[in-house]
Structure formats: C-alpha cells, structure tokens
A = this chain, B = another copy of it.
Amino acid sequence: MEEPKLFDTTLRDGTQGENVSLTVEDKLKIAKKLDEYGIDYIEGGWPGSNPKDEEFFKKVQNISFKNSEIVAFSSTKRYGTKAEDDPNILKLVSSGAKIVTIFAKSWDFHVSQALGISLDDNLKLIEDTITFLKREGLEVFFDAEHFFDGFNHNQKYAIKTLEVAQNSGASIAVLCDTNGGQTPSKVKEAIETVKEKIKIPLGIHAHNDSGFAVANSLTAIEEGIEQIQGTVGGLGERCGNADLCIIIPNLKFKYGFKLPKINVEKTTSLYNYVTEIANLTPDNRKPYVGRSAFTHKGGVHVSAILKNPHTYEHISPEWVGNTRRILVSELSGKSNLKSKLEELGFDITQFSEEQFKKLTSKIKEYEHDGYQFEGADASLKLLVLREFFDYAPNFQVENFNILHYNFIEGTGTEAIVKLKINGETVHAVAEGDGPVNALDMALRKALQNFFPSLKNMKLIDYKVRVLDSTSGTAAKVRVLIETSDTDKTWTTVGVSTNIIQASWKALLDSVEYGLFVDNFSPVKEH
C-alpha cells in the first residue's frame, strides 16, 4: 500500500470544539510543533471567516517549515456571485497558502435544506470555484462534506460532486463523515464503489460521533485511501475529529507503514503540548498518549508486567514517548533520572545508589503534591542542589505582603517584600497588574542594586493550571514561569492551594536560577 499523507486540521476543525480557543500566537506555535513532528499538511484556518485566521496566514509566511505545507480552508463561492468577486475566495488567494481546501455539499438533502439551491447549481458552485482557484495557480483539495450520508441517500449525486471536482482540477477528493454517523462497514462499502469511478486520490475526514473515527479512518486506509485528516487529541466539533495521536501509532505499529517523516516517539509530547497550549484537561485514558495508557493497577497485571512488560502492553510505551507507571509499587525508571541529571550538568558518578533512591522518592513526593518537573528543569536542578550540594542563594526572604484594593475610585495591587541580601535588610514595595506581577516588581526592586544582571532577565511565560478544579476556589494550582536572559531560557514551577504562594515559589526559583545556578559549579557536599 501507498504511504498515506497526514493532514492535520487542529487549527481549523479542532478550534470548532467546545472550549477550544487559540490565539494567533498559539496557532503559530502549534504549527511549528506539527512541522517538527512531521505532518504533511497543516490546515491553518478559514481566512475568509474571521480576522484571526487571516492574521495567522499573514504571520505563518515568516516561518520556514521542514516537513509541512500550509493549507487554507473555505467553502465554495457563494451562490449568485462570481468566484473572482467572492470575498471568501479572494481571501484564499491572498492568504499566501499554496494549497487550499474547498468544501462543498455532496448530500442532496443538504443542498436543498441548508443551501436552498438546485442540485445542478451546487455542482456549478464546485466547478466554478475550483476552476478559478486552479487558474490562480493553487493546488485544490476537495472536501466532500457529508459524503457518506450523501452516498447512502443519493449515491449517484454524491459521486457526481466528486466527478465535477476531479474534472475541475482538484488533486484529491476527501470523503467526509461530517456527522460522524458511519460504521466501518458502511465506509468500506462506499469507498469500494467510489474507487471504481474516481481516478484522483481519495482522502478521509472522519468525526467521532459514533466512536468510530479512528476505525473508519483506518478502514479507509485498508481500502487504499491516500490521505487521512484528523486533529491532535481528536479536538473538533461535537465529539471531535479522528485523533491523529491514535491513528499515527496505529499506522506505524499495527499496519506496518514506514511514515519516514513522522517522529512517532514524540506523539505523547505533541499531545501534551497541544493540550497545554489549548489549556484543556488531558485525557488520561487516551490510547497511546494518555498518562494512564501504560499504567498498571490490577495485581495480576502488575506481577506479570514485572516479569515481562509484553504480557500486558500491546507496544512499548517509549515507542510513542510515553512511560510505564505502576500504581501499587515504587518501581520507576532510575535510568530516566540518571540521564536527566546528566542533562542538567551533574556528574552522576558523584551520586551514590542511596542518593538516587532518596532523590527518586523526593521527586515522587513532590509529584504527589502536584508538582511536575517535566517542563520545569530549573526547579528540578534547584531541588537537587538544595538536597545534595552546598548550595544557598545570596539572599533570604524575610517576609512579604500583598495588598489588593478595589474602590470606586480605582483598583490596584501592591506587594511589599523584605529580604536579607548579603546580611543587609532590604525592604521594597511595588505596584503591579495583580499580585504576582506586583511581587515580581517588588522582588526586582529589592535585588536590582545588588545583582545588576537581573536587568537582562525577563519573564516570558506565565501559566496557571488548576489541578483539582472541582474543589472550586480552594483548588490546588500549579504555576509555571518561563524566564529568559540574553542567552538562555529556563522554566520553574510552584504548587499551592494559594495561587499567590504557588506563583511566589515559581518566581523565587526563577530568580535564583538566573542569578546563581549558572555560576555555581556543583561540588558535592553530603
């Protein structure tokens, strides 16, 4: 079988999911990540539908991609206008994308009910739109919306729409299960018929309303379809789209495709990245990439896993960048920890076996409290320094206070910090946008004269995740702060039920790391 092409629509169909809202910056970051992962096509949005997507296409032109091509999406032209006068279509042309996806109705019921035009007029919309775009030098992918419903209802017409697209110059016809209502057998049957009549390559775009999005996509692959559309984590309208984080490992490990461009071992990291940027709760039970996907709990399972992991794992977790977890015992990757310490610049021959054990259990304790060091190397390095080395920063915090007032005359937040720096007491106050910003300002004011390099340090990212959101406003929160100076970037973490305390911990770690850790050569003490 032909190697399939992978088409990601997280930035377009994905954002139609409830609670999914991405800024232009978010979309650009995700596009870069998809390119690194090795996706063939990235559908960036519908430039004619909103100014945000228009801006995305403008900005994305400044990025050079290794693996991915950017695709712009639109409906066919509006009935009653010429393609060359339709603002929607013109925005496709001016988007800068070299490939465009045009979606059109292929279900007769939709033509009459949603568009309210004749079946022939709909065919004309398809023909005119594609012909115009081809003339403008663009490659056109044709999305046959509701293809399978159309096929079940008026097979001849559904296939006619594909023929018109083919004859107008579309390079691929994507069969969409827009409502997600198809079973794998229905998909198989329809594709077999279509393949007899349509000569351009076919694609599949499946939704998950019946729980078959992944199965339908892979059934289509068995039937020789050449492009799979989906989203990271299955984000999308209603129950979402086919999940590329499940489809890709299946293609590789169950169907034997090579997928030479795909970094399949980064699938878990891709999923976590997009989930984090979209600020969604990760699905722990998600196949391949969920936190529990290789987590063993039942007694029978755990005892067998310790003899041979293959007994209760269909693939090795590291193939998709995930990790094995065992809920009842304390057995966890010492080798992970060792390689991490080396990465952080420690000489691991300096550590005894007992110290590895102590550190492992310390990390587990922190993680149990809600910490996560995966994205916060700087805090992890500080933890190791504080635990095993003769390390102390050149300042201590005596206390701090926050005052927030909200009067009719105005609103404001002030922070007061009292530090001991080189034995000297320094007291500083500053205003800020909220308590964390005020603390940041006050801390800088107090330290500035003693540590002039602080001037080059800038907080570049601040993230808050509510951990047990069901506890309402008393919930535990995890704060991540990313800081950079002239030549590097580092991330720190803090956890507390009090968002001020959590932020303060991350903030202090950030400043400590920036001021001391780079110059500190770790000499083991105890």
Interface on A for B, CB 8 Å cutoff? Answer: 15-19, 21, 23, 25, 49-50, 52, 75, 109-110, 113-114, 178-181, 183-185, 208-212, 214-215, 218-219, 222, 234, 237-240, 243, 246-247, 249-250, 254-255, 279, 281, 283-288, 290-301, 303-304, 307-308, 310-315, 327, 329-331, 372, 374-375, 397-408, 411, 413, 432-437, 439-440, 458-475, 477, 481, 496-501, 503-504, 507
Q: Is the CB of B292 within 8 A of A211?
A: no
Please provide the 8 A-B residue pairs with the shortest distance between their CB atoms, ordered closest to farther: A181-B314, A459-B472, A215-B215, A402-B404, A434-B498, A114-B304, A211-B246, A437-B473
Docked CA distance A338–B403 (Å): 43
Query: In the bound complex, do residue A466 and residue B469 qualify as a contact, i.e. CB atoms below 8 Å apart?
Result: no
Contact of A215 among B113, B178, B184, B310 (CB under 8 A): B184
B434–A497 contact, CB under 8 A? yes
Contacts of A284 in B (CB 8 A): 18-19
Chain B, Cβ-Cβ closest to A291:
B18
Known: A19-B284, A238-B294. 4 other contacts (CB 8 A): A18-B297, A184-B218, A400-B405, A437-B498
- Output the residue of A286, A287, A330, A432 with the most chain B CB within 10 A: A287
Whether A375 pairs with B287 at a CB distance below 8 angstroms is no
- Contacts A16-B298, A180-B287, A211-B246 given; indicate if A432 touches B110 (C-beta within 8 A): no
Contact (Cβ within 8 A) A234 B285 = yes
- Closest partner residue, chain B, to A15 (CB atom): B331
A413: B residues at CB distance < 8 A: 498, 500
| Contacting residues, chain B, for A408 (C-beta < 8 A) | 398-399
Given known A-B contacts A330-B52, A470-B461, A472-B462, A239 and B18 have beta carbons under 8 A apart:
no
Contact B210 A250 (CB under 8 A): yes
Closest to A314 in B: B181
User: Which of B238, B279, B311 is in CB contact (< 8 Å) with A293?
Assistant: B238
Known: A436-B499, A499-B435. A237 touches B411 (CB 8 A): no
Which residue from chain B places its CB closest to the CB of A408 in the assembled complex? B399
Quote the shortest CB–CB distance from A126 to chain B (angstroms): 16
Q: Quick one: which of B49, B178, B293, B501 contacts A239, CB cutoff 8 A? A: B293
